[in-house]
Amino acid sequence: MKTWITQTAAGFVALAAISLSACKKDEVQATLTPTNSVALTASTTNVVLTQANASNTAATFTFTPLTYAWANVDKPYNPATTYTLQAAKQGTNFASVVSSIDLGSGPTKTMTVSDLNSALLAGGLPVGTATPLDIRVKAVYATNSPLYSATLPLTATVYCAQPAANQAWSIIGAAAKGWNTDVVMTYDCAQNAYTYTGPFVADEYKFRYGGAWAANLGSAGSAGALKQAGDNLKITTAGTYTITLKPASLAADGTVSSGSTFTIK
């Protein structure tokens, strides 16, 4: 009896294995294949971006969205596809992408001077210098390898955007021009900081944002450290100084997050 049970069980296992193998052999896999390539055109090959024209159109990028063909599927559909405009310094073969701009679903993306400047400036392009770039479209669908358009040339000159007085940091206090007059600081894109060089007298001062006191910075108790609503800072000897402020981001309540610093030379 024991031998019969063992043999029978072994037979069932063998039969199951054969059945499973047969199912795998009959299995048909659905496939998705792009039926075209991504093509890119641009309205210009040279953009000189200036803050005075910030709201003007800088360039329009037009591309061909991918189309697809399904095989062995009952209900074909178009997969979600992302399209990104990539920019890299010319001749680098996109080893280091300086900017990636979301193109939406296409087929066109019109960018203002301000938007294109922000995207390229964030990639480290030098201000005021014509920089030759290569641009292309990167298309990604599902988890497949990305597809790329042919490369186009684009020479771009970017600017360092200076915020309006109501969106800038300033110095205020008796050490500068009094507690009723803001000395608006200049934004330095390279340092991501605000600077001011000018005469000061021996007295007190603070930093504030937008000409109001909601966001203001004073001493945090140690050299170079600042905090929201901190104590007044002091100039001990009259003279001409360069002050550089690196403010932290504004918090949701309109005050300044921790981490602001400054130098004075």
CA distance 224 to 264: 8
List alpha helices for 56-138, DSSP H. 113-121
pTM > 0.75: no
Determine the Cα–Cα distance for residues 220 and 205; give it in Å rounded to an integer.
Answer: 14
Tell whether the model's pLDDT for residue 24 goes beyond 60.
Answer: no
**224 vs 245: CA distance, rounded Å:** 9
Q: How many residues does the chain have?
A: 265
CATH architecture type of domain 165-264: Sandwich (2.60)
User: What residues contact residue 72 under an 8 Å CB cut-off, 6+ apart?
Assistant: 28, 29, 30, 31
What CATH number was assigned to the domain covering residues 31-157? Answer: 2.60.40.10
- Domain ranges for the chain: 31-157, 165-264
Instruction: Give residue 74's pLDDT.
Output: 78
Residue percentage of the chain with pLDDT more than 90: 74
Please write the tens of the pLDDT for every residue from 160-209.
989 999 999 999 999 999 999 999 999 998 888 999 999 999 999 999 99
Q: What is the pLDDT of residue 128?
A: 94
**Which DSSP helix (H) or strand (E) runs through 19?**
helix 2-26
pLDDT tops 50 at residue 20:
no
Mapped onto helix, strand or coil, the DSSP state of residue 32 is strand
Average pLDDT over residues 75-87: 88
Distance (Å, rounded) from C-alpha 214 to C-alpha 229?
Answer: 9
